[in-house]
Amino acid sequence: MERGFLNNRETILSFIKRAISESEELQTMVVPFSRGDILFKQGDSLKYLYLLLKGSVGLNRRNEDGYSLDLLKLEPGHFVGIMAFSTGKDSLTTGKALEDSEALKISQTELETYLNDHPRLRHPLQQLMMSNMADRFMKNLQLESKMHQLNEKLEEEGEQLKEAYKQLEESHQKLVHQEKMATLGELVAGFAHEVNNPASALLRSSESLITNFEKLSDNDSLSGMFTIGLKSAPMSSVDIRERMISAQKRFPWVSERSLIRKIAQMPDSAHVLIESTRKKVPIEKMVQQFEAGKFIHNIQVASERIANLVKSLKSYSRQDNNEAELIDVRNGINDTILVLSNRLKYLDVHLELLDIPKTKGHLGELNQVWTNIIVNACDVLPNGGMLVIKTKAEGEHKIIIEISDNGPGIPEELIDRIFEPNFTTKNQGAKFGLGLGLAISNEIVRQHGGFIRASNKKEGGAKFEIILPVKLT
Amino acid sequence: MDHQIYILVIEDELEVMDALVKDLEEFEQKFPVESANNAEEAEQVVQGIANSGDEVGLILCDHVLPGKNGVDFLISMESNQLFTDSRKVLVTGQAGLEDTIEAINKAHLDHYIAKPWKKEGFQKVVVDQLTSFVIKKGYNPLEFMSVLNSIRLAEALRGSQLTDH
Amino acid sequence: MKLNTTQRIGLLAGVFGLIVPFFLNIAGLSEAGHVALGIFFLAAAFWMFEPFPIYATSVLVIFLQVLLLSKEGLIFTSSDSSYSPDSYTAFIGTLANPIIILFLGGFVLAEAAVKYNLDKNLTRILLKPFGSKPKFILLGLMVVTGILSAFMSNTATTAMMMTVILPIVARLENNDPLKIGLALSIPFAANIGGIATPIGTPPNAVVIGALSQQGINIPFGEWMILATPLVLVALFFVWILLLGMFKPKTDSVQIDMSGSFNTTKNAWLLYIAFGLTVLFWITESFHGIKSAIIALIPVVFLTLTGVVTKEDIRKLPWEVLWLVAGGISLGISMKSTGLAEWIVGSIEWNTFGSITLLVVFSGVAILMSNFLSNTVTATLLIPLAVSLATSGVAGEGFNLIIVSLVIGMSASMAMMLPISTPPNAIAMSTGAIETKQMAKAGISVGIFGLVLVILYAIFYWPLFLN
């Protein structure tokens, strides 16, 4: 290009400066600015275009949200207000002198005049404008790519944040759960203490009652009936009905139905005793003795049940101290089953707890794992469903606990998600927080150095395998 | 009376059944007691009672039972016209609110006894329910005055146009 | 229907009794008399042993008489010298006998009174003046029971009063004899109170029915004048007796009867009907309108106004009306066939004094009605007494009205056993009393009743009946 020599902005500027010094008319158009002077404001429509000769001007834009942003710093050789001037639209920015500066202030008409009357100037000015435009475009491109970089970085940080949040959530859930279990543990400890007192009073009193009774009855056949009653477990109603028919045949002289029912619940030895003393002792008295024995027996059985329940509840929900202890996992499984006996009542539960080595760990925490898995099984199993729990050792260093059922199994599309936090197929919070989720179970097992594997059995039903390493230290 | 009015108890824990039947002993001279350990057995018992031309006046039923639960059993009794009039009482410590609402709506549950029960309150419920049954059925109140609620029976008698002869 | 041994014996005896006279030839008894005797045997056996409900027997009696003794029946289609058969309407007409209509009026009033709780509210008001001392409470309960049972059936009154006393009994201490006293006072007072008015209890109807066949009308008010003083003395005696036998331990009894009079329009209509009817009944001797006609007032008034509905009418104790009608009907043929006369003639009555005869009738009536229905007792005995009196064989002083009253009132004095009267059965079934206690008190009342009735028959009734 023949005019290539004008490409350089500075060259053009010096050319223009020379032109100014040669023209008095132009010199009148040079305006000085002190630092902080405003050339034009955002929103003004510009009548003048400034060619910066000396110093610098900043372009600043205030966004609608009130945030003010410095966009560009213009240096000598740059036009100020060129966008608004050339498009005729309101200025998008505010121009402000950043230091004491000088600029050639050109009005619309003047510019056209100059361009027409001074061909010498016309070309450099056009060149300068082009260069200004090119500058701005370059800047735009740079900005664009910078923005892209920033976005990428932002995304990366977002991912990291998500991960951190997930971890936080997990540990929060675990903390809540631990807190719950701790509260439960405290409650149970207090409750157990309170219940153990009346339960032991019941047990002791019934024992004393037995000795008293035995001393009270001076008649051998009466105390015999009492002893038989003491050993008689209650009968199923089917048995009672059957035996009532035969008892009525054996004792045709008894007409009261309630008496026959009681006689039916006696073992044959008591029948023999009644027959042998028929003439001497009224049958009502014999039956009363038997009943007394039977009810004391019932008290004993019931209070023993209370005591056992309290014991396993205590050990089930006990507070682990932070130190891992040498534990037998099977004890925990047995406690768990007792505590859940109400829910397991009508399931067919098979235990195959083979010998396994002791390992260092937290029994209470592991109990949560068994509980979660068993409760989940209970939720899907119908009455009479089967639950199998097995333990076995693999070599000296591995314990495998397998809990399986014959329920509907885990839907294949969900099987990969069940250990995710917050995964649930039922309304959360509907049940007291024993089944707080497999995620916690997973976490607990992981902290013990093991892992959980869930699968569906070929013959139907879900299977959970927990593999724990044997740790002795 | 030319037939028997039975009290039916359904409870799966044998010790608890023992205690329930013991508290019903005083009624047995007028109302023979039958027992069952689960709903399926109860259905057979009830059928047997119906076959011999007798009636079930009162059903006392636990909720948590092996197999069919208590509320479902009571609902099936309600829909059987032989036992629609039988008074139905849930004796349980375990039925949730939803089960209970269902029992009231679908089985027309007449009463709810929470375990553990006390003899006096328990027997009062039994007396009240059997009294309602006898009055509803229009049986001669005189036969039951000494065991059941004599005031309510006398009131029923008053409305029944008794006459001299 | 399964019959027990007694009932089977009754069934056999009845059938046998009906057939046998056909094959006998009893001197002095007409052919129709033989038939009537057979029916009498059947009725007696069936009523006493109850192989069938007594009201069923009553209808059977009417039917057999129509079949065997009426002009339209199978045997006697025309009159002859020994028997001029009645039309069948005479027998079935007993179902609309004035005394039946009188009872119907009483039933409607009683039914409506129960429906609008008038009986209970009256009890509440009437008991107030008796305070809280056990002996006066006992008296109050008896007086109220007596008054109510004079206008309602004894049984319905007892059932209502049981709802009043059972809460008191329940609150008393277990060993307080007052419990027994209270439980006995109600049926006793109800049995006795029934004597007071013609509509009080069916035996009264039998008496009035039998007398009306003899052309004798006893106005409502006059019956009350004859009966009420006897009732009052008897009640007083029972009160003293029960207080003596079952001395109350407690010194205060609270009756908590809450409630208020029903004030709906229908209830007011009932109160008005009740008051007017009773007023007109009592004043029959002044205005001369027959009580059976007055009895139609509540029937008409209460059904027209809808106070008593179709359902209420269906519930009325119609069987009692049948029972009474059967009795009246039996009396007709006993007289017209000459059977009654023959029975009377076959006994040498004049060997007894007339007072002895009254004592015997009263004693037999009390004894019989302890085991049989009071109405049946009156039904079986009164035709006999009527014939005896009308034939004149018992001599002067054996007044037809007096002997009928003696039998009727004695029949209501039976209260020894739970089976004696329905009120007794109700009281017994509450479990508050033992049969032994009822028997002891009941025998005393029976003996006193006999003496009382005889004394009134000799000294009081003649003042009004001549």
* A343 and A437 inside one domain: yes
Q: What pLDDT was estimated at residue A432? A: 36
For C360, how many CA atoms within 13 A lie in the half-sphere containing its CB? 12
Q: Which residue has the higher pLDDT, A154 or A118?
A: A154
- A301 in B contact zone (CB under 8 Å): yes
Q: What pLDDT was estimated at residue C243? A: 94
Please write the tens of the pLDDT for every residue from A309-337: 787 777 776 655 667 888 888 988 988 88
Identify all chain A residues contacting B25, using CB atoms and an 8 Å cutoff.
Answer: 258
Strands B55-61 and B87-92: parallel
Q: Strand pairing partners for A387? A: A349, A405
Cβ of C375 within 8 Å of Cβ of B164? The answer is yes
Identify all chain B residues contacting C154, using CB atoms and an 8 Å cutoff.
Answer: 164
| Chains C and A touch each other (3 or more Cβ pairs < 8 A) | no
Cβ of A257 within 8 Å of Cβ of B32? The answer is yes
Identify all chain B residues contacting A257, using CB atoms and an 8 Å cutoff.
Answer: 28, 32-33
* A334 and A259 inside one domain: no
Q: Give the closest of B150, B158, B164 to C421, CB-based.
A: B164
Q: Provide the token pair at C286.
A: 């002044």
The answer to whether residue A414 sits within a structural domain is: yes
To probe the interface with B, which of C55, C161, C166 has the most B CB atoms within 10 Å?
C166
Is the pLDDT confidence value at B115 over 50? yes
The phi, psi pair for B117, rounded to 5°, reads -100, 165
* A217 and A306 inside one domain: yes
Q: What pLDDT was estimated at residue A318? A: 65
CATH of the domain at A335: 3.30.565.10
The answer to whether residue A69 sits within a structural domain is: yes
DSSP C205-225: HHHHHHHHHTT----HHHHHH
Single residue among A99, A117, A135 that ends a domain in this structure = A117
Identify all chain C residues contacting B165, using CB atoms and an 8 Å cutoff.
Answer: 54-55, 202, 319-320, 323, 373-376, 422
Whose tokens are 């009928």? That residue is: C404
Q: What pLDDT was estimated at residue A131? A: 80
Please write the tens of the pLDDT for every residue from A213-231: 888 877 788 888 898 998 8
Identify residues of B whose CB sits under 8 angstroms from chain C CBs.
142-143, 145-147, 150-151, 154-155, 157-165
Determine the structural domain holding residue A299 and report its residue range.
193-314
Query: Among C317, C147, C119, C156, which Cα is nearest to B158's?
Result: C156
CA quadruple A316, A319, A324, A326: dihedral positive or negative?
A: negative
Single residue among A314, A340, A364 that ends a domain in this structure = A314
Q: Give the closest of B150, B155, B165 to C430, CB-based.
A: B150
To probe the interface with A, which of B9, B10, B22, B68 has the most A CB atoms within 10 Å?
B22
Q: What pLDDT was estimated at residue C350? A: 66
Is the pLDDT confidence value at A295 over 50? yes
**Which ranges of A217-324 does DSSP label H, i.e. alpha helix?**
220-230, 237-250, 257-264, 268-276, 283-316
Q: How far, in Å, CA of A391 to CA of A357, rounded?
A: 11
Q: Provide the token pair at A158.
A: 């977002």
- A145 in B contact zone (CB under 8 Å): no
ipTM of the complex: 0.83
Query: Among C119, C156, C161, which Cα is nearest to C140's?
Result: C161
* A383 and A461 inside one domain: yes
Identify all chain B residues contacting C163, using CB atoms and an 8 Å cutoff.
Answer: 151, 154-155, 158
CATH number at B5-158 = 3.40.50.2300
Cβ of B157 within 8 Å of Cβ of C162? The answer is yes
Question: Residue A104: helix, strand or coil by DSSP?
Answer: strand
Q: What pLDDT was estimated at residue A431? A: 37
Q: Provide the token pair at A120.
A: 């010498």
* CB contact at 8 A, A53 and A115: no
Q: What pLDDT band is residue A122 in, cutting at 50, 70 and 90?
A: confident
Whose tokens are 């009205």? That residue is: C401
Which of the 8 DSSP states describes residue A8? S
**Which ranges of C194-283 does DSSP label H, i.e. alpha helix?**
202-213, 220-245, 265-282
Cβ of B164 within 8 Å of Cβ of C323? The answer is no
Please state the domain count of chain A: 3
Q: Give the closest of C167, C194, C373 to B151, CB-based.
A: C167
Is the pLDDT confidence value at A436 over 60? no
DSSP A289-306: HHHHHHHHHHHHHHHHHH
CATH of the domain at A12: 2.60.120.10
Is the pLDDT confidence value at A233 over 50? yes
- C320 in B contact zone (CB under 8 Å): yes
- C160 in B contact zone (CB under 8 Å): yes
Q: How far, in Å, CA of A318 to CA of A365, rounded?
A: 9
Please write the tens of the pLDDT for every residue from C384-440: 888 888 777 666 656 888 999 999 999 999 999 888 898 998 898 888 888 999 999
**Which ranges of B1-149 does DSSP label H, i.e. alpha helix?**
14-24, 39-51, 70-79, 97-107, 119-137
The answer to whether residue A140 sits within a structural domain is: no
Q: Which long-range contacts (CB under 8 A, 24 or more apart) does A426-429 make?
A: A426/A379
Q: How far, in Å, CA of A340 to CA of A347, rounded?
A: 11
* CB contact at 8 A, C366 and C446: yes
Say how many CB pairs under 8 Å bridge A and B: 46
DSSP C112-142: HHHHTTHHHHHHHHHHGGG-S-HHHHHHHHH
Please write the tens of the pLDDT for every residue from A158-206: 999 999 998 888 788 778 877 777 777 777 777 777 888 888 888 888 8
Query: Among B9, B21, B27, which Cα is nearest to B90's?
Result: B9
Say how many CB pairs under 8 Å bridge B and C: 83
Is the pLDDT confidence value at B32 over 90? yes
* CB contact at 8 A, C362 and C407: yes
* CB contact at 8 A, B119 and B23: yes
Which of the 8 DSSP states describes residue B30? T
Query: Among C176, C198, C237, C193, which Cα is nearest to C450's?
Result: C237
Query: Among A259, A266, A269, which Cα is nearest to A239's?
Result: A266
Cβ of B165 within 8 Å of Cβ of C55? The answer is yes
Write out residues 81-140 of B within 8 Å (CB-CB) of A: none
Q: Provide the token pair at A111.
A: 């510019």
Question: Residue B159: helix, strand or coil by DSSP?
Answer: coil
Amino acid at residue number A435: G
Q: How far, in Å, CA of B69 to CA of A321, rounded?
A: 42
Q: Provide the token pair at B160.
A: 């029944």
Q: What pLDDT was estimated at residue B7? A: 96
Identify all chain B residues contacting A294, using CB atoms and an 8 Å cutoff.
Answer: 18
Please write the tens of the pLDDT for every residue from B56-114: 999 999 988 888 888 889 999 999 989 999 999 999 877 677 778 888 888 888 999 98
| DSSP H/E element including C344 | helix C339-345
Identify all chain A residues contacting B43, using CB atoms and an 8 Å cutoff.
Answer: none
Cβ of B14 within 8 Å of Cβ of A235? The answer is yes
Q: What pLDDT was estimated at residue A177? A: 73
Domain boundaries, chain B: 5-158
* CB contact at 8 A, C220 and C290: no
The answer to whether residue A228 sits within a structural domain is: yes
* CB contact at 8 A, B67 and B12: no
C54 to each of A98, A407, C289, how far by Cα in Å?
Answer: 130, 70, 33
Q: What pLDDT was estimated at residue C407? A: 94
Q: Treating both helix axes as pointing N-terminal to C-terminal, what angle do B14-24 and A283-316 enclose, rounded to 10 degrees?
A: 140
* CB contact at 8 A, C94 and C325: yes
* A298 and A424 inside one domain: no
Cβ of A237 within 8 Å of Cβ of B32? The answer is no
DSSP A377-392: HHHHPPTT-EEEEEEE
Whose tokens are 């030839």? That residue is: C25
Q: Is B61 exposed, middle or buried (0-12, 13-18, 19+ CB in 10 A)?
A: buried
Angle made by CA atoms C39, C45, C50, in degrees to the nearest 5: 120
- pLDDT truncated to tens, each residue of chain C (466 aa)? 678 888 999 999 999 999 998 888 888 888 888 999 999 999 989 988 889 988 999 999 999 999 999 888 888 877 777 788 888 999 999 999 888 998 899 989 988 998 898 988 998 889 889 988 999 999 999 999 999 999 988 988 998 999 889 888 888 888 889 999 999 999 999 999 999 999 999 999 999 988 888 888 888 989 999 999 999 999 999 999 999 999 998 888 888 777 888 889 999 999 999 999 999 998 988 888 888 899 999 999 999 999 999 998 988 889 888 988 998 888 888 888 888 778 777 766 666 777 888 899 999 999 999 988 899 999 889 888 888 887 776 666 568 889 999 999 999 999 998 888 989 988 988 888 889 999 999 999 999 999 999 999 988 988 887 6
Percent of chain A with pLDDT over 70: 93
Q: Strand pairing partners for A452? A: A466
A162 to each of A141, A167, A192, A421, A446, how far by Cα in Å?
Answer: 32, 9, 43, 14, 21
Give the mean pLDDT of chain A: 83
